[in-house]
């Protein structure tokens, strides 16, 4: 079996393990940029945990310490002399976990800690239930004079990258397309947009820094391919249909690609 990405561009089946893909891709972006940036700039990975359903917008965890006491993962024991004497039996509740959606991105900062550029690899939450919060955060970055690079390698969800006001967002967005958008702080009315079809190779894009710096190239396709190989994603479930489904033509094309690479579809 060929253990390289069977698709020329993004592998849509990698969405099935997106948290792992997302984490790995962020790390590879940071690594690639860290090799190319000017001496007084650095790329840093950032993490925020959005607690869905909570009152606070977000928390920035330092270190989580879990003891060995079993009750800390469930409920503490209940006992009192009064309840024991009355023969009361406590009704056990159903335990529900609050979902935590980690949001990760890459920041480029200078030696003084000033933020120059932020690179967002969009998650399902960015394109769904947290979409408005994400758009507000993007607006804050741009208002502060920060370059914003958005990489959307998800077929699911709404078109979310920064295209409002360009007229592009009113067109019929082709199913199965991926999108990348760069907004430069120095040119806030311009968008550098890449529309990437399922059958196309992902582009090498420009990462803007300060207006006096040359752009840094970022080869997204090579990073996706590396994610595929190190994550051993040839072991994914390729038999179940994708959500959202591929068109009939793309579905047939994808099956032919997979079979040619020796990947089992049943």
Distance separating alpha carbons of residues 188 and 38, to the nearest angstrom: 24
Pairing of strands 147-152, 115-121: parallel
Q: What is the pTM of this model?
A: 0.80
The position carrying tokens 């979310």 is 160
Is the separation of the CB atoms in 180 and 151 below 8 Å?
yes
Residue 128, Cα to own-chain centre: how many angstroms?
12
Place of tokens 């990258």: 161
CA angle 183, 186, 190 (to 5 degrees): 45
Element (H, E) at 21: helix 18-34
Separation of alpha carbons 231 and 226, rounded Å: 8
Q: In a structure prediction context, what are the per-residue pLDDT tens digits for the chain, which is 266 residues long?
A: 789 999 999 999 999 999 999 999 999 999 999 999 999 999 998 766 444 433 334 433 333 333 344 444 455 555 555 555 566 676 777 766 655 556 788 999 999 989 999 999 999 989 988 899 999 999 999 999 999 999 999 998 888 999 888 887 666 666 668 999 999 999 999 999 999 999 999 999 999 999 899 999 999 999 999 999 999 999 999 999 998 899 999 999 999 999 998 888 87
Residue 93 token pair:
């509740």
């Amino acid at each position: 079996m060929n253990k390289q990405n069977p698709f020329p561009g993004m592998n849509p089946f990698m969405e099935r393990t997106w948290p792992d893909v997302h984490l790995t891709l962020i790390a590879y972006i940071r690594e690639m940029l860290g090799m190319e940036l000017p001496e007084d700039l650095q790329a840093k990975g950032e993490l925020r945990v959005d607690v869905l359903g909570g009152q606070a917008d977000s928390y920035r965890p330092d270190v989580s310490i879990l003891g060995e006491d079993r009750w800390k993962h469930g409920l503490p024991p209940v006992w009192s002399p009064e309840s024991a004497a009355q023969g009361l039996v406590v009704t056990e509740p159903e335990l529900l976990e609050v979902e935590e959606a980690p949001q990760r991105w890459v920041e480029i900062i200078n030696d003084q800690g000033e933020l120059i550029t932020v690179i967002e690899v969009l998650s399902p939450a960015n394109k769904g239930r947290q979409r408005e919060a994400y758009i507000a955060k993007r607006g804050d970055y741009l208002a502060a004079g920060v370059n914003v690079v958005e990489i959307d390698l998800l077929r699911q969800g709404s078109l979310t990258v920064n295209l409002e006001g360009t007229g592009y967002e009113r067109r019929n967005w082709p199913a199965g397309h991926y999108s990348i958008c760069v907004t430069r702080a120095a040119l806030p009315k311009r968008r550098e947009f890449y529309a990437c079809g399922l059958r196309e190779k992902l582009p090498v894009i420009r990462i803007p820094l300060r207006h006096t710096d040359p752009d840094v190239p970022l080869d997204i396709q090579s990073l996706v391919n590396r994610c595929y190989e190190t994550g051993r994603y040839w072991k994914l479930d390729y038999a179940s249909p994708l959500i959202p489904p591929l068109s009939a033509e793309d579905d047939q094309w994808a099956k032919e690609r997979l079979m040619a690479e020796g990947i089992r579809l049943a």
